[in-house]
Structure 1
Amino acid sequence: MEAPITSTDLKEFKKISTGKVRDLYDYNDTLLFVATDRISAFDVILSSGIPNKGRLLTQLSTFWFDKLFPIILSDGTHVGHHLLEKNVEKMGLPASAIDSLKDRTLQVKKCDIVKIEAIVRGYITGSAWSEYKKSGTVNGAPVKSGMQESEKFDHPLFTPSTKADQGDHDENISLEEYRKLIPQPLAKRIEEAAIKIYLSASEYASTKGIILADTKLEFGVDAQGNLLVVDEILTPDSSRFWPVAGYQVGKGVDSFDKQYVRDWLKSVGFDKNSPVGPVIPEDIVNKTADKYYEGYRMLTE
């Protein structure tokens, strides 16, 4: 298996930031969005990478960008995405950079980022299930009583969180808090767009034997004032995809994502406040790589 790429150093360009997975470079009036094979869990970047993960995430994002957009809202607003070019050979890059960037790089628009994670939940799982068990609420809002783990909501819930700096933890916030943080009509448009994207993607995924349990989206506003989806979209890193074949109400469902890594970290008593993640055993790396590829294959074939 090909060795994972966990860092990039494109000396021809100015590196703007290094995220959990992606490195961001300034490129003329645009940005280069480079997905490495880094993997994080519990908001900590681990010392090992997952081979080809960055390529799969990039190709899956472009698949959804092509399939779902534009999104037309009830007020007539068209919501687009930030992607300008996905073929590195058409980006006008130096030949020396093309091999290392191929299939894992997007050229995207510069945007003002909305400092909110727009999360849509179709099923009760994860932090929503943990909160519900304690208080009968999700993001502070009451939800019908008697729900079981992994049960489908009557309708998708928009459950935003803060967008924390790297190393910090995102915090779930109520709709009231969200609407105080984000001005209107932007707040309403993001909420509507996020739910429309979730519903469209969920309907498509169901035809492939996959349940889209929840997803996290990020938005930005470009220089012309257009609302755009930015970053990745509907990947195993930003969403929970469940196989229909393994779905059962009343218990947790294995996702096409890094659950193997999360489970291993829990088994070794990993400190979630640690600034550096450990090296992942090879068998866990391989199982995780296979899981990412399986989800990608089922969705795109």
Structure 2
Amino acid sequence: MKLLHSGKVRDVYEDRGDIILVASDRVSVYDVILPTPIPDKGRILTQLSLWWFEQLADIVPNHVISATDVPAEFAGRAVRCRKLRMAKVECVARGYLTGGGLKEYQAHGSVSGVPLPPGLLDGSKLPEPIFTPSTKAPLGQHDEPISFDEVVALEGTEVAEEFRRITLEIYLRGSELAAERGVIIADTKIELGWDSEGTLVLGDEVLTSDSSRFWPADRWEPGHPQFSFDKQYVRDWATSTGWDKKEPAPEVPAEVVEVTRARYIEAYERITGRTW
């Protein structure tokens, strides 16, 4: 195998003309990799993505060739995939207002150029889900929100509209399934690309604790940050240290690692109905 790319969480190899996508236990916050891994995180993300790919297959094809035809040392955390030419933008859907979207709303009354009603709070449910794309920043740099018109400028009108349709359909399908299991999906990010025949394909990961915000529905209360089943816990810890969000990042204490791992597992078990 040939290593093509090592990202914040995933390592990408080429093997027999295919891609081997390996999810590590690395965790990144504010686009910086923390020095302390979260045990089992890569396996959890991979297995949750595979479950979701099955639920979403009628909306958009995905890049998975096999979850078992991978090197033994990567078993459980790797997927054999089709090669894709990835889009130049991150496709994001938001159904609730929080995080960077909240900050943008507070400054401009809109998110990625989409105007929103006044008076929304941290955690408020939006009137309807919105497409809020962003740039795809190099490792160590921050993604920046962009408007739909900027996506049109990058990829063309037809492609931009397809990005928006697919992203919102995935979010709506995911939200419905998760809601049945007592989980709110506040927002999510997906990756799209084109295969060798020019078909638009869903790649990378989908509706995981790294690419989405998961909240327990019975604890949702707008007006403050929500309890979450994702890496928000470790993100909040990192913020509390006074760290400047630049390299080098601080070591993560064992208790924060343990709680974060438990929340990843709970998200997996709630959503899939399977025991980890």
Q: TM-score range by the shorter chain?
A: over 0.9
> 3-state SS of the aligned residue for 1:199?
helix
Instruction: Name the counterpart of 1:259.
Output: 232
2:9 to 14, 21, 24: 21
User: SS state of the match for residue 259, structure 2?
Assistant: helix
Q: Aligned residues, how many?
A: 273
Deviation at 1:149, TM superposition (A): 1.8
Alignment partner of 1:194 is 2:167: yes
AA at the equivalent of 2:98:
T
Counterpart code for 1:297: E
Structure 1 position 239 matched with structure 2 position 227: no
What is residue 66 of structure 2 aligned with on the other side? 85
Deviation at 1:267, TM superposition (A): 1.8
Post-superposition CA distance 1:226-278 (Å, at most 9, x none): 1001100000000001000110122221211122211221221112122x322
> Which of these residues, 13, 18, 21, is aligned with residue 30 of structure 1?
18
53-62 or 162-171, which deviates more: 162-171
Unaligned segments of structure 2, at least 5 residues: none
Among residues 130, 135, 146, which one is paired with 1:162 in the alignment?
A: 135
The amino acid across from 1:265 in the alignment is A
Q: Higher Cα Rg: structure 1 or 2?
A: 1
Partner of 2:108: 135
Match of residue 126, structure 1, among 99, 102, 117: 99
CA shift for structure 1 position 154: 1.2
Q: Deviations along 1:3-49, whole A, 9 cap, x unmatched? A: xxxxxxxxxx1100001111110011110001110011110001110
Mapped partners of 1:196, 1:84: distance in 2: 23
1:288 aligned to which of 238, 260, 271:
260
SS, match of residue 277 in structure 1: coil
The amino acid that maps onto 1:221 is: W
The TM-score, its normalising length taken from structure 2, stands at 0.96
The CA deviation at 1:176 is 1.3
8 Å Cα contact 2:114/2:130 also seen in 1:
no
Contact 2:183–2:214, Cα closer than 8 Å, also in 1: yes
Instruction: After TM superposition, give the deviation of residue 66 of structure 1 in Å.
Output: 0.8
Give the distance between the partners of 2:56 and 2:43, measured in 1 at CA.
20
Distance 2:91 2:54 in 1: 20
Give the secondary-structure state (helix, strand or coil) at the position aligned to 1:198: helix
Asked if 1:50 is matched to 2:23, the reply is: no
User: What letter matches 1:134 in structure 2?
Assistant: A
| Matching residue's letter, 2:66 | E
Aligned pair 1:148/2:158, yes or no? no
Per-residue Cα deviation, 1:197-254 (whole angstroms, up to 9, x for no partner): 1000100000000001000011000011110011000000000010001101222212
Matching residue of 1:270:
243
The equivalent residue for 1:230 is: 203
TM-fit CA distance, 1:280: 0.7
What is the letter of the counterpart of residue 79 of structure 2?
Answer: L
Tell me what 2:158 maps to.
185
Whether the 8 Å CA contact 2:148–2:160 is kept in 1: the answer is: no
| Structure 1: distance between partners of 2:267 and 2:81 | 25
Structure 1 length as normaliser, TM-score? 0.88
The structural deviation recorded for 1:148 is 2.0
> Secondary structure of the residue that 1:34 maps to in structure 2?
strand
- Describe the superposition over 1:154-199 as per-residue Cα deviations: whole angstroms up to 9, x where unpaired: 1110000011111111110011111111123211111101100100
Q: SS in structure 1 opposite 2:79? A: strand
- In structure 1, what is the Cα distance between the partners aligned to 2:224 and 2:140? 30
Residue among 262, 269, 276 paired with 1:297:
269
Partners of 1:219 and 1:47 in 2: how far apart?
A: 29
CA–CA separation in structure 2 for the residues paired with 1:249 and 1:184: 35
Shift of 1:140: 3.0
Residues in 2 aligned to 1:50 and 1:37: alpha-carbon distance in whole angstroms: 5
Which runs of 5 or more structure 1 residues have no equivalent in the other structure? 1-12, 72-78
Runs of 4+ deviating beyond 4 Å? none
